[in-house]
Every structure is written in structure tokens, then in C-alpha cells.
């Protein structure tokens, strides 16, 4: 009997939520997605030691700052991953730029230029941006230049609607982090898959997109359990950590398809402008808090990464 992971792959594009080379080799995903936390893991991964040493040495010879070496290392890791997967590698714009549209666009262009210099075409890369109003506007500019974007730290339908209106290639709604917030707020230890707030959020976004013929890809992310993953079987894409991929690969049985464009029904298109976006986010305590927390945490990991590189350079 085929495994749950094999069945999932038959209906959903599976993405590896890791920057570790050996994990990607083991699971052979279509795409990879990274963020500062995952690049930190790659920095500590023995399989990436030669790459890290090479980038640090090159940066020292060129007189680069630790921050500039960090930027180069991130793209170097992405370049190595691009050689292992047939699809896309997501690479994140610095979280500290999440409220600066122009700086985010400039940083994204530099990332693409660095990849190009390493022989990786822009059609193999997704630029990751936080789903702030400013990040979404940056994505709109970049999409107009043919640079596809992955809008991350997405917790609400308001964010999803704005991303779709901006023509974003892909969104990453964070299932587990939504569930974490509601568990604490409602003092609940666990939810059934159908009642899980994170699962319900992605299902709602998926249905809205399909009902309105929106091309933006929905990629569920930040899973806490295989049950959450199975409850979204049929979603366009799912980015899954290696530990959960292992669990899915060791489990057999029948995996029913839950999401399908044909079952979306009719849902009215929502009109979204900046005022409405900011009000809807302000009205949603979970989305506001988790977005802010996610930006802070990504920025903290980015600073840790720079500090580790500075130590190595010293």
C-alpha cells in the first residue's frame, strides 16, 4: 500500500520546509522554502560546512561586512538547493524591511541579481516577503517585473485578498501558528482537524481563491501535526518540515482529498484597499499579534545569523 506522503503528492505539490541539504536529498521535494531560522540550521549543518567556509572566505577577501556575507550565504544555500529540486527556492527579504516597500523591492532585486550571477535564473526563485501592506505593495512591483513572490506570515483572509489583488504568485498561510494562538486564547489543548482554527483559515482562503478564479497559489505552512496536513490534502502546495515528512512517509492507509477547486462553491469577491486592510487586521487580534511576532522572530534570527558569521570572520 502506498504511503500517506505518496498519496498526498498525487494531489498536492509537496515543498520541504528546510534549508538543510541532506533533508532535501532525502525527501526529494518539488520546491524548497527557507527563512532566516532555516538558514541558521544550514549554518550548523555539517553537510553545508564547505559552502559556509567558502562564502566566508570569499567575503573576507572582498572586504565585505558580516551582514553582506550573510546575504551572500543565504543565496549560496539557495543556489545549492536549486540544484537539488526541480522547482522553486524561496528566499526571504530581510524582516527589518517589512514596512519599507522601496527597500524591500531593492533588496529583492539584489537577491535576484546574486542568483543570476551564480547561474540561477529568476524563474527558479520566489522572493519571500512578509504580508504587511508594504510587503504586498513590494510584491506588486516585483510581479510587474516578472519576479515571482511568496507572501509569508499570512494569518488572515484580509491579507490573502490583498495578496491576490497584487498578483502575488504564492501565499503561505501559517496553519500551526494560528492554532497556537487560539489554543492559548481559548485555553484548549487540542482541536479535531475540522475544528482546527489554522486548518479552517486555509480552507477559507483556498475556497475564496478558487471561487473567484484567482491564480495565486495557496501553500499551507507551519504545521504542528500530520493531522493538520491531512486535513488540507488537495491544497495547491504544502510546505512541510522533515520530521513531519518522515511521519507521513511511514504511515499507510487511505488519504481522502479534502480540498478541490470543484467544491469551492460561490463566494463574493471582496473589495480591499489600504484602509480596509488595516482596519481588518486591527480587528483581528490573532493576525495582528502573529504577524508582528513573526517579523520580530525572523529579524532576531537574521541578527543571530549575522553574529555567527561575524564570529567566524573574526
Interatomic CA distance for residues 168 and 217, integer angstroms: 8
Catalytic residue among 122, 128, 200, 230: 128
Interatomic CA distance for residues 250 and 247, integer angstroms: 5
Closest CA to 218 of 230, 203, 229: 203
> Would residue 128 show up in a list of annotated catalytic residues for this protein?
yes
Interatomic CA distance for residues 224 and 232, integer angstroms: 13
Please answer whether residues 209 and 164 qualify as being in contact, where contact means their C-beta atoms are separated by less than 8 angstroms. Answer: yes
Closest CA to 238 of 209, 204, 208, 199: 199
Interatomic CA distance for residues 140 and 134, integer angstroms: 10
E strand or H helix at 14: strand 13-16
| Reduced DSSP (H G I as helix, E B as strand, rest coil) percent helix, strand, coil of the chain, to 5 | 60, 10, 30
Range 50-59 contact pairs with CB under 8 angstroms and sequence separation of 24 or more: 51/76, 51/77, 51/80, 52/312, 56/309, 56/312, 56/313, 59/313
Extract the C-alpha cell encoding 145.
517585473
User: Which sequence positions are flagged as catalytic?
Assistant: 128
Amino acid at each position: 500500500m502506498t504511503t500517506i506522503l505518496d498519496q498526498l503528492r498525487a494531489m498536492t505539490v509537496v515543498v520541504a520546509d528546510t534549508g538543510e541539504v541532506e533533508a532535501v536529498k532525502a525527501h526529494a521535494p518539488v520546491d524548497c522554502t527557507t527563512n532566516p531560522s532555516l538558514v541558521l540550521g544550514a549554518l550548523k549543518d555539517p553537510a553545508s560546512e564547505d559552502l559556509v567556509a567558502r562564502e566566508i572566505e570569499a567575503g573576507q577577501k572582498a572586504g565585505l561586512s558580516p551582514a553582506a556575507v550573510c546575504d551572500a550565504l543565504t543565496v549560496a544555500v539557495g543556489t545549492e538547493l536549486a540544484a537539488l529540486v526541480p522547482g522553486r527556492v524561496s528566499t526571504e527579504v530581510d524582516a527589518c524591511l517589512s514596512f519599507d516597500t522601496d527597500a524591500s523591492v531593492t533588496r529583492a532585486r539584489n537577491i535576484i541579481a546574486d542568483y543570476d550571477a551564480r547561474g540561477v535564473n529568476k524563474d527558479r526563485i520566489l522572493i519571500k516577503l512578509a504580508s504587511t501592506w508594504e510587503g504586498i505593495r513590494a510584491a506588486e512591483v516585483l510581479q510587474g517585473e516578472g519576479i515571482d513572490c511568496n507572501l509569508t506570515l499570512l494569518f488572515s483572509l484580509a491579507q490573502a485578498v490583498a495578496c491576490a489583488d497584487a498578483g502575488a504568485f504564492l501565499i503561505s498561510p501559517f496553519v500551526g501558528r494560528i492554532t497556537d494562538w487560539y489554543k492559548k486564547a481559548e485555553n484548549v489543548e487540542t482541536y479535531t482537524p475540522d475544528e482546527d482554527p489554522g486548518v479552517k483559515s486555509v480552507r477559507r482562503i483556498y475556497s475564496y481563491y478558487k471561487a473567484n478564479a484567482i491564480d495565486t497559489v495557496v501553500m499551507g505552512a507551519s504545521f504542528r501535526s500530520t493531522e493538520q496536513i491531512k486535513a488540507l490534502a488537495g491544497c495547491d502546495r504544502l510546505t512541510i518540515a522533515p520530521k513531519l515528512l518522515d511521519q507521513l512517509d511511514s504511515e499507510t492507509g487511505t488519504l481522502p482529498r479534502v480540498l478541490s477547486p470543484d467544491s469551492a462553491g460561490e463566494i463574493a469577491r471582496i473589495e480591499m484597499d489600504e484602509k480596509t486592510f488595516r482596519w481588518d487586521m486591527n480587528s483581528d487580534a490573532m493576525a495582528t499579534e502573529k504577524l508582528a511576532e513573526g517579523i520580530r522572530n525572523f529579524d532576531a534570527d537574521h541578527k543571530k545569523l549575522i553574529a555567527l558569521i561575524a564570529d567566524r570572520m573574526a
